[in-house]
Each structure stands twice: as structure tokens, then as C-alpha cells.
Amino acid sequence: MSNNEDEIEAVVWHEQQENILKKWGEIGSSYRFMHDRAYMYYETQNFRFALPVIVISTITGTANFAQGSFPTSWQTYVPLVIGFFNLTAGLITTISQFLRVSELLEGHRSASISYSKFSRNISVELSLPIDERSCDGREFIASRRIELDRLIEQSPNIPLHIVHKFGKKFAGADFIKPDILEITGVEVYKDSEKERKNKKIKELEMKQLELKLDKERQEREAELIKKVREEEQRRSIDFEKKLKEKLEEARKNLTVNKRLRAEEKKKKIGFSSVAKSMSSLIRRIEDVNDKNQIITPESSDLDDSPRTEKNRSSSEEDIDDGASIASAENIQIDISGNI
């Protein structure tokens, strides 16, 4: 994914952008040359203004201390001469400040360095392969245009005689000169048929690449969703399996418990019925002995019918209890099956 993004965000340069930057670089070099010559000119001017002031100030200072050593005939004129030289030094200093020699000296030096950086930055950027450049052409042109406008606004004016010297020196040179030397026409760029076709081809390639990336992203998302669903389904199956095992175990335990209770009830019913039958038989024998009657199966059945019906009803109740337990068991099994 990162490689594809790098391909999309690759630097894009157009030939016309390189031509514009080439012109700006040549203009920057021209301004650097002229500001450097202006710096040298104002440095000479500053030296011419500063050196006489230093000499005159030294002479007048020494003369002030040595006024007593002059001849008596000169003492009337010495203060006048010293005052004249002091006025001359002050006048030179005032003229230097009015002409802003020191300020222009520093301004041209700073402008020369700034234009040198500007042109060098452009030349280095254009000398690199397109893939090795720091940014695309549109962004680089925007930043260099702002920088060039700032330098032109902040730089001091170049003396006219230096501009003329530059024009004479590079009259036959084949490079773009600043607008202060000559006026050039505005160039209007028009796409050729080949460039338009190449542009359309690049746009189609970019769209295809974007579609490919979108498709890969959708496939990855679908695969991820599929894995999540499979994991959820697997967990659901495991949960249902464990739940069924627990329900089956509970059902078995319930069946065993019911079986044990049924056996216990059978034992209790058997013992109680035998005891009741024996007691009824004994009472019947006693009654027969008292009445001197004969015991027959019919008479014993008739006599024991109420008790038998009671025993039968109790057994039927036990059977009904077992049926209700079985129905509850079936309901639990159906619930587990639905789960």
C-alpha cells in the first residue's frame, strides 16, 4: 500500500515549469552580480568618506593639545584653522549620512547574498533528476515566486551606471536579463497535440491506478469481514455445542434421578401393598372363622376391590407423575434442539 501511495504522490514536473525556473535563476544571478558591484562601489564611497574624517579628527585633536607650542604670531590663526577642519569633518560626516552610504553598503551586501542563495537553489533543483527533486514543479514555482518578489521589494536600488556597465558587459550573452535592462514580451504557453495526448494518457493511468487501489482496498476489507464472520460463526458453533453438551448432561442427570425416584416409589408401593394385602387377608380369615364361612377367590376379590382400587389409583398417580416428568424432559430436549 505504501509503494502505491508513493507512486501516486510522485513529483510531477513540466517542461514549461523548468523553463520558468531557468529564467528566474538567470535573473537572480544577474541581480546578484549587480548588487555585488553596487556593494563594492558603496564600499569605496564609504572608505572615501570615512578616511578623511579620521585623518582630520586626528589632526584637530592633536592641534588642540599642542596650541601652546605654536609661535605667538600663529596662536591667533591656529584656533581658526582647527575650527575649519572640524567643520570640514562634520560636513563630510553629514554628507555621508545623508547619502546613506553605510546603509546602502550593507543593503547591497545582504541582497547579493540573498540573490546568490535564490539562484543557487534553483540551479541545484533543476540539476537533479525529477525523481530526486524535493517537491513537484507547481509547489516549487509558488515558493520561488514569493521569494523573488520579496527580494525585489526589499533590495535597494542599483545605481544606474552599474546597470549600464552590466548591459554592456553581457550584451551578447545568451541568458534572460532583468527587466531593468530590457523589456521582453509575455510568453503565452499553448499545449501541443502531443502534450495533450500525453496528459490524457497520464490522467487515465492515474485513474486506473486509483481504481486498482480502491479494488484492492475493498478486497482486503471483504476478506477481513469474512474472517470476522467465520470467527463469529465458529465461536457460535462452539457455544451451541457446549450448551447442547451441558443440556444433554443435565437431561441424563434428570433421567437418572427420575429412574431412582421411580425405583424408590416402586419399592415403597410394593412393601405397602403386600403389608396391606396380608393385613386384609388376616382380617378376612378372622371374619371367616367368626362366621364359619368359606373363603373363595371371588369373595376375596370383592372384599379387596376397594383397597385394590386405591392401590391402583395410587399406582396410576405414580404413572401420571412419571408421564409428567417425561413430558417435561421432552420439552427440555426440544428446547435444546432449537438452540
CA 86 centroid distance within chain? 71
3-state SS, residue 1: coil
Secondary structure (DSSP) of 32-81: HHHHHHHHHHHHHHHHHHHHHHHHHHHHHHHHHHTGGGS-TTTTTTHHHH
What sign does the dihedral 170-176-181-187 (CA atoms) show? positive
Reply yes or no on whether the pLDDT at 317 is more than 60.
Answer: no
Is residue 170 within 8 A of residue 177, CB to CB? The reply is yes
Reply yes or no on whether the pLDDT at 318 is more than 60.
Answer: no
What mean pLDDT is predicted for residues 225-252?
A: 90
Reply yes or no on whether the pLDDT at 167 is more than 50.
Answer: yes
Q: Closest Cα partner for 139 from 13, 29, 28? A: 13
Which pTM value belongs to this model?
0.54
What sign does the dihedral 200-202-208-214 (CA atoms) show? negative
Q: What's the CA gap between 59 and 72, in Å, rounded?
A: 20
pLDDT of residue 137: 86
pLDDT of residue 35: 95
What mean pLDDT is predicted for residues 171-189?
A: 79
How many other CB atoms are there within 10 angstroms of residue 180's CB atom? 16
Tell which wins on pLDDT, 156 or 177.
156
Tell which wins on pLDDT, 328 or 87.
87
Is residue 41 within 8 A of residue 162, CB to CB? The reply is yes
What mean pLDDT is predicted for residues 79-96?
A: 89
What mean pLDDT is predicted for residues 92-113?
A: 93
pLDDT of residue 266: 74
Secondary structure (DSSP) of 221-276: HHHHHHHHHHHHHHHHHHHHHHHHHHHHHHHHHHHHHHHHHHHHHHHHHHHHHHHH
pLDDT category, 64, cuts 50, 70, 90? confident
pLDDT of residue 33: 94
